[in-house]
Structure formats: structure tokens, C-alpha cells
Structure 1
Amino acid sequence: MTGWLEGDVALVTGGGSGIGRAVALRFLREGAAGVAVFGRDLDRLRTVAEAAGHDASRLLPVPGDVRSVDDLQEAVATTVARFGRLDVLVPNAGIWDFNRSISGTTPQEISAIYDELFDINVKGYLLTVSVAWPELVKTRGSIVMTLSNAAFYPAGGGPVYTAAKHAARGLVTQLAYELAPKVRVNGVAIGGLRTDLRGPASAGLAGRSIEQSFARREGTGPNMWLPLHDASTDPDDSTGPYVLLASRREAGVITGAVLNADGGIGVRGFATAAGGDDL
């Protein structure tokens, strides 16, 4: 039986770790002819190729920064030169603000966090699509953006991160409109996953990961606020929605949609769920 992405070629930004890495490897297992992983750390990208095992020949590490038009153009050109086409684009690179609240930061800190985080999480997505859409038009391909529960609900981050994810949700809607009918554009709103997602260097958080935050609350039951209490925080278990939305066969009629894959956070807010009774 063939995979859902048989013969397709994908480019995943932020592909060196976390959900980007997991999606890249899953795409290979679904039969993708090639997957390029783009990120700032070449050594980390190479570990993804190592993890691909016998599929490593179909995995292309491409170093660069999503804030650089030149780097992104080179990534698209390199992907097409290597694999001959581009079918699926996954804008995914991002950082988190570690729930820095408006009352817990100074105006100067907010300004610095905003500039860095929006440059990566919003401008980075927009630039990625800007350089890649002509190739996607040729293949009638698709874009699957990584969003977050913070694109819909509070407490998935501080005001800067939440605003950025709402902005990315707007990009899904606008770009789906602009690129129809040639290119489908959708998003996956994931929940909190155990990854190496870092914070803004401007806030001194570049060396801290979201995984460390999970570890600190290990004894309190990290999933107690989820209606799906045993929902996995392993990024490998959140790759299915990306495969679905990328598949022409299974999602050919879907564009402008955001699939919530967050363990049901929106069913009951964080506060209610944390204090709710088990059924």
C-alpha cells in the first residue's frame, strides 16, 4: 500500500527539531520522494538525515534563516534542483515567549520580544510562502502552516506569542484566498509538545526550551488541563494532521482551514479543565 504523499517533495522550515523534524520524517514514511529540512543549525539538520535511516538519501539538509530572503530563495532552488519539484511547503520555524505576561515585562522587554518573535513567527512564514509559491503553482501543491492552540485561545503563551499565532491564522485565510485554485493553504494548531522550542534571545531565553518547562511540572501531571488527559506531548504523535492536509487525495477539497490538534484545549479553558472532575 502506498503512502499518502507518494512521490511528493516537501520543504519544512524549522526542520531540525521538534514538530518540524517529526513531520519531515513522517513525510518520508508516507512515500515522499524528497524532503528538505531548513534551519539555522546544520549539524542539527544532519541528525534528521541520520534519523531517516535507509530513507536518508531522500532527506536534504538546507541551512539558513527564515528572516533572510536570500536563504529562503536558495532553499527553494536547492530543493527543486535536487528533487525536480516542490509539492508541499511547511512553514514551521518559530520561537515561544514562555508566557511572558504584559504585567510581568517592561515596555522595553515587550518591544524587544515583539521584534524578534514576529520576525521569525510571522514574517518568516510570509517570506517562506513568498519565495515558494511559484513552484507550488506548478505542481498544484499545498502549504501546511504550524499554528498553535494560542491561535484560538488564551494561555498558550504571552500576548506577543498569542498575537503572532493569530497573525499566522490570518495568513492561512488570506493566502488560501489569494492562491486558490492553484495552491491549497491550511494550518495545524498543535498543543504544547515536548520539543526544543526556544525563546527570544532578546529576553535571555535562547538557551531555554519548552521541554524544560514540562520537566519542572512533571509531578503535577502535565496533561491535567487537557480534556484528552492522556493526549501525547510527543511531536511524533501530532504529525497525522500534516499528512492529511498535505495529501491531494485525502484533502483536495480543503483550503483555508485550521485543524485543531491540541488535545481538546478549546473544549474547556485551561482554568476550568485544570480544576474539573474526571469522568
Structure 2
Amino acid sequence: MIEGSEDVVPRVQEDALPGHETALHPKPEWHPRFLGSGRLAGKVAMITGADSGIGRAVAALYAREGCDVAILYLNEHDDAQITARAVEAEGQNAMLIPGDIGDAEFCRRAVEDVVARFGRLDILVNNAGEQHPDDDIRDITEQQLKRTFQTNVFGMFYLTQAAIDHIPAGGAIVNCTSVTMYEGSKGLLDYSATKGAITAFTRSLSENLVEKGIRVNAVAPGPIWTPLNPMGGAPPEKVAHFGESTPMKRAGQPNEVAPSFLFLACDDSSYMSGQVLHPNGGTVVNG
């Protein structure tokens, strides 16, 4: 059941964002590829942008590993219902929370609702993001610039601020940065800038929370087949060759990225904080 299912209107409508995975062809591969082993048994995770793409793959994988999942998303109710059913099919509880993470009050209420429902919050996955391609920096409007940072950076701050009093020692925060932070992207200037901020935020927050026993890490995906690029304004000729510039000569699938989020959320990575994993098709980066 969708809680608070009134539509949330994006503040920037220059393209087809946020984008529905149900309209994407071919469909991304998000189903977990391996049997679970209870690595997140009894835990509760909050995942932003979990209606589709990487977020959906992470939600399904976490559920397979025994985790209840709160699914945060903007207004893609059909996609979010698919994610919820995937979580429930793994025998776990799903909670749907539509809203704009660029709103600090929404983030505060969302965390309170999750804790009220499940009694705890162990893992925060800051995955949601948006991008608006522009080849000329002069074409980036003030509205677009503010909105990209509002979603990609401010939302991450707001949710973390609301969540840290509830995440116990041994808990984890996993942020989603990007290969564009390391390589740059001439057509994604504002988006790449937010991803640089996210990497710096991850490293700094790790130092800030280490004494509380909360680990903070990040994942920097390369080109992954999700609604973000084909529905985020990328031209069709670019989408047709999406991912071919990687050493593996192809785009990645969401279920090839989700295991990195699992590793950083579970005790397998108990001696890691402030680090970034790079599922990017073989592109070598420094960091």
C-alpha cells in the first residue's frame, strides 16, 4: 500500500525525469543473481530512489539477505509497487514512502515513520539522484543547478541528519557517487559536481561518525542501464551506444551494482569506512 500517495511534482521539468522503468526497453536486470545467506537478517534499511534502477536492485538484494526495506521515491507509484512486491516475495516487509528528498521536513518525517513502523533503522542508502545533460555551461539554468544539488546533495544531508540518532553502532550509511566524479563529464557539469561533493561528504562523514560505530562508504557506478540516462535528457544516438566506451564495451546492469551496496552494508566490510567501490565496467580510476 502506498502511504501518502498524492503526486509529488518535480521542481525541474526540462526532461522526462524522474522516469518510469516500466517504460524502459529493454528492461534492466535487477533480480538478485545468487541465493541469500542472511547477511542482513533482522535489519531495516531505508533506500532512496528505490522504485527503479540501482535502488530497486539493492532493495531486492537486501530483502533476500533478510532485511526489511523502506522504499523512498518521488512519484513513480507503479515502479515502486514492483519494488515492494519484490521485497515481499523474499519474505520481508516493504514500506512505500513517496516524496521529495530535497525537502528537509519530508526527510525528517520519513525517518520517523520508518522507526515507528519497524522500531529501528540500521542502514541508510542514499541512492536517489537526477541529471540534466547540457553541453554548454551557459545552458544550465539557475533552477536546474539548484534542483540538481537539492536532490543529489541536500537530500543526502537531510536524510543523514534525520537518521543518525536512530542508526546504532554497527550500522551503515552507503552513498551513491559516480564514475563521473573521477573521470569528469563534459555534458554533465552540474551532476558531476554533485558527485564530487558526495564523495567528499562520504569521506568526511566517515571521520565524523567512526566513534559512534557507524560506517560510511560509497559506490561509484559506471554506465548502468536505468531510467536515469534515456529519460534524463540524453540524446537517442548517445543512448544507443551507452556503455560502449568502457573496457567491457557494454553498460552494466543494476544487479551487477547491488552487491557492492550489500557488501558495504553488512559485516563483511566491518573494517572499511570512508571508501568507494567502483562497479564501472573496468574503468581504472584513482580513488
* TM-score scaled by length of structure 1: 0.81
**Partner AA of 1:229 in structure 2:** K
SS at match of 1:179: helix
8 A Cα contact 1:144 1:186, kept in partner: yes
Q: Which runs of 5+ in 1 are unaligned?
A: 199-207, 269-279
**Pair 1:262 & 2:280 matched:** yes
Which of 61, 69, 72 aligns to 1:35? It is 69
Q: How does 1:204-243 map to 2 (within 5 A)?
A: 209-210=231-232, 213=234, 216-217=237-238, 220=241, 222-230=242-250, 232-243=251-262
Cα shift at 1:75: 1.3
Q: Which has the higher helix share?
A: 1
For the pair shown, which has the larger CA radius of gyration, 1 or 2? Answer: 1
Distance in 2 (alpha carbons) for counterparts of 1:160 and 1:252:
33
1:267/1:175 CA distance change after superposition, 3 Å: closer
Aligned AA for 1:54? A
Q: Is 1:111 aligned with 2:133? A: no
Counterparts in 2 of 1:164-179, with a 5 A limit?
Answer: 164-179=194-209
Aligned amino acid, residue 280 of structure 2: D
Distance 1:265 1:214 in 2: 23
Q: Map of 1:85-234 to 2, 5 A cutoff? A: 85-98=120-133, 100-101=134-135, 104-106=136-138, 109-136=140-167, 138-155=168-185, 157-181=187-211, 182-197=213-228, 209-210=231-232, 213=234, 216-217=237-238, 220=241, 222-230=242-250, 232-234=251-253
Please report the RMSD computed on the Cα atoms of aligned residues, expressed in angstroms: 2.4
Q: Distance in 2 between matches of 1:151 and 1:219?
A: 23
Q: How far is 1:188 from its partner?
A: 0.1
| Cα distance change of structure 1 residues 224 and 245 upon mapping to structure 2, 3 Å threshold | same
* Cα distance in 2 for residues equivalent to 1:156 and 1:3: 42
Bigger mean CA offset, 150-159 vs 67-76:
150-159
Q: 2:97 aligns with which of 39, 48, 62?
A: 62
Specify every segment of 5 or more residues in structure 2 that has no aligned partner in the other structure, as ranges.
1-35
Q: 1:224 to 1:125 in 2, by over 3 A?
A: same
Cα deviation digits, residues 64-102 of structure 1 (max 9, x gap) = 21111221112111111222211110011110122x13x
Q: What per-residue deviation string (whole Å, max 9, x for no partner) do you get for residues 30-86 of structure 1?
A: 111x11011122623223112335336511111221111221112111111222211
**Residue from 264, 268, 276 that aligns with 1:245:** 264
- Counterpart Cα distance in 1 of 2:197 and 2:187: 14
Cα distance in structure 2, aligned partners of 1:126 and 1:58: 26
What is the alpha-carbon distance in structure 2 between the residues aligned to residue 134 and residue 218 of structure 1? 42
- Distance in 1 of aligned mates of 2:200 and 2:239: 34
Q: How many residue pairs get matched?
A: 249
Residue 284 of structure 2 aligns to a residue whose secondary structure is helix
Identity %: 30
Residue 273 of structure 1 aligns with which residue? none
Contact map agreement 1:36 1:79 (CA 8 A) in 2: yes
Deviation by residue 1:188-225 (Cα, 9 ceiling, x = unmatched): 00012111227xxxxxxxxx615x848645665x4331
> How far apart in 1 are the matches of 2:95 and 2:46?
9
Distance 1:162 1:218 in 2: 18
Q: Letter of the 2:118 partner, please give it.
A: F
Amino acid at match of 2:93: R
d(CA) in 2 for partners of 1:72 and 1:59? 18
Quickly say closer, same or farther: Cα 1:215–1:27, change in 2 above 3 A. Answer: farther
Q: TM-score, normalised by structure 2?
A: 0.79
